[in-house]
């Protein structure tokens, strides 16, 4: 009885954690559907400058900023959505080679593939359909 109680209490004490990974492939030969975000935004590509990138993305939570210098050194590019002068969405893109951080593994991409990762929408702008509209613009 004590063993069962201990197992149940341990499960209740620790909040279950899970992660959902979303993989999307877009065939560029197909027509892309029209989709508008609920707010207007401009698409920008940050220059491959470590100091500028770190300064412009200083609002990001720590888990989204671990290795900017390495990303830039590897040729990855940072795309952002800007609304009223403020960055509201960020996504990094890798070409040729990408690292899938959750399993610490690198993959070689074919020349016609791009890997988008570490995307982030600021909390106050979530729910405005920025992600799908951004995918169409970029």
Are residues 126 and 37 in contact, defined by beta-carbon separation less than 8 angstroms?
A: no
Domains of the chain: which residue ranges?
A: 39-137
The CATH homologous superfamily of the domain defined by 39-137: Gcn5-related N-acetyltransferase (GNAT) (3.40.630.30)
Sign of CA dihedral 48, 21, 111, 33: negative
Mean pLDDT (whole number) for 23-27: 64
Q: What pTM does this model have?
A: 0.70
Element at 71 (helix H, strand E) = helix 68-73
Express each pLDDT in 86-111 by its tens digit: 999 999 988 887 777 667 777 788 88
Give the CA distances from residue 47 to residues 91, 101, 104, 113, 117, in Å, rounded to whole numbers and listed in that order. Answer: 14, 23, 26, 21, 18
CA dist., res. 134 & res. 60, Å (int): 19
Distance of CA 112 to the CA centre of its chain: 20
Return the higher-pLDDT residue of 3 and 47.
47
Mean pLDDT (whole number) for 104-123: 84
pLDDT at 6 over 60: no
């Amino acid at each position: 009885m004590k063993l069962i109680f201990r197992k149940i209490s341990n499960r209740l004490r620790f909040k279950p954690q899970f992660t959902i990974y979303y993989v999307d492939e877009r065939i560029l030969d197909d027509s892309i559907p029209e989709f508008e975000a609920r707010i207007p935004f401009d698409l920008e590509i940050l220059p491959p400058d470590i100091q500028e990138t770190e300064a412009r993305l200083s609002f990001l939570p720590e888990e989204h900023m671990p290795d900017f210098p390495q990303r830039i050194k590897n040729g990855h590019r940072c795309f952002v959505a800007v609304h009223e002068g403020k960055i509201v969405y960020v996504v990094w893109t890798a070409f040729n080679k990408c690292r899938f951080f959750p399993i610490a593994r690198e993959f070689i991409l074919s020349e016609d593939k791009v890997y988008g990762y570490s995307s982030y929408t600021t909390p106050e702008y979530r729910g405005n359909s920025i992600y799908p509209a951004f995918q169409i613009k970029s």
